[in-house]
Amino acid sequence: MTDDASRIRLVQTVLDSTDARKLAEFYRSLLGLDYAEWDAPPPADQPDEHGRDWLVLRTPDGAPQLAFQQVTRLRQPDRPDGPVLSPTIAGAPERHIRRKTPASHT
């Protein structure tokens, strides 16, 4: 019998955005990620076809990390008290990392 956890793996997280390129640029800069080769921004004088659809950011070794999907409008979250993205900052003392606690736990 195999362990189901060994067969399941998270490939990437997808974020909806009304400006996929702008959000991708923010996370690329913040996390030091690279665009998938086909998703790099085009020269300034050319239209950004990929930026109006779907973009993928990868780790420096090429593994998928984040994807951004262009949407016309954002919908309300299903779980307002759901999980919170809490990246770890390498080398930062634990006391300097802010954590958001859901309202029901304050």
Confirm whether 38 is domain-assigned: yes
State the Cα–Cα distance between residues 19 and 29, nearest whole angstrom: 16
Long-range Cβ pairs for the range 46-52 (8 Å, 24+): 48/21, 51/20, 51/21, 51/24, 52/20, 52/21
State the Cα–Cα distance between residues 67 and 54, nearest whole angstrom: 7
Nearest to 84 by CA among 73, 98, 96, 63: 98
Residue 58 near residue 64 (C-beta atoms within 8 A): yes
The residue ranking higher by pLDDT, 75 or 25, is 25
The enclosing domain of 49 has a CATH number of 3.10.180.10
Confirm whether 82 is domain-assigned: no
**Domain count within the chain:** 1
Question: For 5-46, how does the pLDDT look when each residue is reduced to its tens digit (9 = 90+)?
Answer: 667 677 788 999 999 999 999 999 999 999 988 899 999 899
Strand, coil or helix: what is 57? strand
Which residues span the domain enclosing 46? Answer: 9-74
Predicted TM-score of the model (pTM): 0.64
